[in-house]
Structure 1
Amino acid sequence: MDLTLSDEQRLLRESADRFVAETFTADHRKKTANDPLGFSPAVWKQFAALGWLALPIGEAEGGLGGGAIEIGILMEAFGRGLVSDPFLSTVVLGAGLIGACGTEAQKQAILPDVAEGALYLAFAHSERAARFDLAHVDTTAAKTADGWRLNGHKIAVLDGAAANQIIVSARIANANGASGKLGLFLVPAGTPGLALRDYARLGGGRGCNLDLNDVTLPTDALLGDGSDALPAIEAVVDRAMAALGAEAVGIMQTLLDTTLEYTKIRKQFGRPLSANQVIRHRLADMAMQVDEARSMALRAALMADAEPVARGRAASGAKAKIGKCARFVAEQSVQLHGAMGVTEELDIGAYFKRLLAFDTLFGGSAHHYRRHAALSGRAHA
């Protein structure tokens, strides 16, 4: 299998690395950390001008038709710069669900605006009782004479406060009142009955919890033809986990490079730390963990369009393995920096927090080991 990047992919990586290094400085991160949105809309417009927001969107909807490999290239660069812009929530999750479930009219009404940077999306799916089970949804959608009525609660909605449209998952009630298949609904920001509690996320960015109390929506708020949306949700979340894995690899590589450089210049007893054999062994272990994580992230991206069982095994395997590798690299980096590793003078602590957030988002390593085992059982049944 040829794993080398194409000329277009190499150019994308070079331009992304250069733009992120020049734009996402420590001063920029401090400024956006105090912004209510958690990112800069002006920089988001630059993303659009560079074609990044259109990358995974189909050509028929004004996009470039890119795949998971291209998304991974961008996300790895975003990891190196600790980018907190809502790329995952708007482009990977939001636009991915619109492309998978929406009608042609819905795609044409939404996706070109996403590609141009004029529309932010969020995906509200997680609930407290679900424990990362994508099929567990207690939020309900009841059919009314004029459309739909939604009731329920959602947690950990990425960039929900910035979104113009929030895609909400809900169980559609049957004629007898019992909950049935899973549907996705477009809820505009500010809709009556929609209450939002915004908060800062660990490692950068914003999140929110949602309360939906008799939220009334028109008939066309339902995405698609009403088919069960669970398969599309699983596919988009698997793709999001592959993207997050690439972001984690970018963070881990930065921690390794920074720690290696620090051990060369930090002297103890008259010689650099890197002259100590034990330190060299630790750095070698960190490098191996980074390479293992990169391999797993690439595998998840390559399997993003495979059949559901193979795709799910690759995504969960990557999430579980990268979570373990990330914690090791982050802890070693902090320890080798000594007390400096937890000060605001260095970015080590910020990268460490982002990796902790990665390990929890969409489920930790233990959850995905169980999911991988369950999918492996299905594959051999």
Structure 2
Amino acid sequence: MGKTTFEKTVIITGIAGFIGFHLTKRLLRENPNLQIVGIDNMNDYYDVALKEYRLNELSKYKNFRFVRGDVADKDTIMRLFDNYNLQTVVHLAAQAGVRYSITNPDVYISSNVIGFHNLLEACRHSCDNGHSGVTHFVYASSSSVYGLNRRAPFTTVERTDSPVSLYAATKKADELMAHAYSQLYNIPTTGLRFFTVYGPAGRPDMAYFDFTNKFVAGETVRIFNHGHCLRDFTYINDVVESIVRIMSCPPQRVTDTKGISKPPYSIYNVGAGSPVSLLEFVETLQEELIAASVLPSGFDFDAHKQSVPMQPGDMLATYADTSDLERQIGFKPSTSLRDGLRNFAQWYADYYKKN
């Protein structure tokens, strides 16, 4: 993977989250002249100790600043933009989780809709008083926006107006708001539809991490849709490489041959492009957990799994067409499922041995 150099100030929201942590660490390691300002509310949706571990890793870098705050608090966001001369914004903060949105809808509106709007407003006003302002707003969308779409692989030109969860609906709302602000205020925005991101220091609510915790505790895991759901599992390093490259490629306003102006707005899929059944995924995970001595060699997988029907809000399959992204940045995610799960298993063994 090539090195991309930045010499400006970047704000990354959701800095203590899974993707935010790995992205920030990569940028700090490669760009000593780059100042990164990170914001996170450190909520307890999952183990806060893991978020603190990520922050401790980032605090080793002198060019990193952390602000504890909520993107849904407009005053906090506006002050943050006033205090720093920001050029690039990478907005990763959001309330994640499909099933959680069924029982806790309010937090999704607060974080994913109001918080997103606050960031757009801050970008809009970053040019006030003669300031150069934000030159690129990159944000996290999700493969969940494809909803009931059954045409595979998913392309960014497909309709995305049939969400099956509130989480997906909020992410689609983000894309629409970004388009409006790009059109009205000429803010270059790029949305990235992530497909099932996994890897070391990931989210404990994700299946691979949750299954691992349950296996270690001797509990039974539920495999939804009897293991027949297909997911486009994307390794975290491939996701970070995609974000780093896209950060330096802001979209431009263009006018077509008919004189119609199109805003500086773009959407890309970020996925491996090779869906795997949930059952195959869990079997590979089990093998790598045994190899990393997280599980004993004689671990009885069949005794610790339960096949259950499809859950409300779940999608049967996710499958990314990443051709647009590949043309734009010259990169395609390529980490194999086994290599990615091996790296996770080794990290898990080391992290919980120390903690």
TM-score after normalising by structure 2: 0.37
Q: Which has the larger radius of gyration?
A: 1
TM-score after normalising by structure 1: 0.35
